[in-house]
């Protein structure tokens, strides 16, 4: 159909130049081949498009297999020991446990021990121990008169086998070691206490503990 520059309508100059007619053909035909792009065959059939979606599906399946396979290769391992030991929590007595550091003797520190400070520190023991004369056993045994008394000094308390097998008396140095690191002195004890790390704190507690007795034993020579 010829483009007729009409006298009645002002055509754009581009159309005026095209004067001569709409020619069929690829040059100026934008809607003739709608299937020339995308997942369609040149005849516009959907055969090609099925291949296209199959490829996407296959990629997804391969990704899933890769994820599952990587999970099988990397085995998460349980830690034998907690990475961060919790203060105050019981640590099981493991065979390969590191040797506790050398524990400073308490005797020289008892001379300048602060009994009142010891009483304050002993509050953390009271979660498990009663210290009063004739007081009850709790998680741990009543500790009245424990200093210079025998290990497992209470007959009405169920000590661990480890403590029962630990013979001797609670002298100042064994108390010092026990309070510093219970598992270090008596491996397998059921006293679930991490230990008092500061030597002077232990001296203060022991000086106070010594007084919780009908007959406080003498302080070590030199005090």
CA dihedral angle for residue 146, residue 179, residue 125, residue 213, rounded to 10 degrees: 20
> What are the residues facing 150 on neighbouring strands?
169
Q: Is 169 in the site for ligand HEC (CB under 6 A)?
A: no
Q: What angle do CA 96, 98, 100 make, to 5 degrees?
A: 140
Least CB distance to ligand HEC at residue 85 (A): 15
Q: Is 162 in the site for ligand HEC (CB under 6 A)?
A: yes
CA-closest candidate to residue 136, choices 121, 119, 157, 152? 157
Pick 10 or 169: Cβ nearer ligand HEC:
169
Q: Is 170 in the site for ligand HEC (CB under 6 A)?
A: yes
Distant-in-sequence, close-in-space partners of 14: CB < 8 Å, separation ≥ 6: none
Least CB distance to ligand HEC at residue 221 (A): 22
Considering only residues 94-153, where is the footprint of ligand HEC by CB under 6 A?
124-125, 127-129, 139-141, 143, 146, 151-153
Least CB distance to ligand HEC at residue 77 (A): 30
Q: Which of 106, 109, 179, 185 binds ligand HEC (CB under 6 A)?
A: 179
> How many angstroms separate the CA atoms of 119 and 117, rounded?
5
């Amino acid at each position: 159909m010829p483009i007729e520059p009409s006298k009645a309508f002002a055509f754009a100059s581009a159309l005026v130049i095209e004067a001569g007619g709409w020619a069929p053909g690829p040059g100026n035909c934008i809607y003739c081949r709608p299937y020339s792009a995308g997942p369609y065959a040149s005849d516009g059939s959907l055969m090609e498009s099925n291949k296209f979606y199959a490829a996407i599906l296959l990629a997804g399946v391969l990704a899933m297999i890769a994820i599952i396979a990587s999970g099988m290769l990397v085995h998460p391992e349980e830690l034998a020991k907690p990475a961060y030991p919790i203060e105050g929590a019981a640590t099981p007595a493991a065979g390969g446990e590191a040797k506790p550091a050398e524990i400073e003797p308490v005797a020289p520190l008892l001379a300048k021990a602060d009994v009142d400070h010891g009483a304050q520190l002993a509050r953390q023991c009271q979660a498990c121990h009663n210290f009063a004369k004739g007081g009850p056993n709790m998680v741990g045994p009543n500790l009245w008169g424990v200093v210079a008394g025998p290990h497992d000094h209470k007959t009405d308390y169920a000590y661990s086998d480890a403590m029962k097998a630990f013979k001797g008396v609670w002298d100042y140095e064994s108390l010092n070691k026990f309070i510093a690191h219970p598992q270090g002195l008596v491996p397998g004890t059921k006293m679930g206490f991490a230990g008092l790390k500061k030597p002077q704190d232990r001296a203060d507690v022991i000086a106070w503990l010594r007084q919780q007795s009908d007959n406080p034993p003498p302080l070590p020579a030199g005090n």
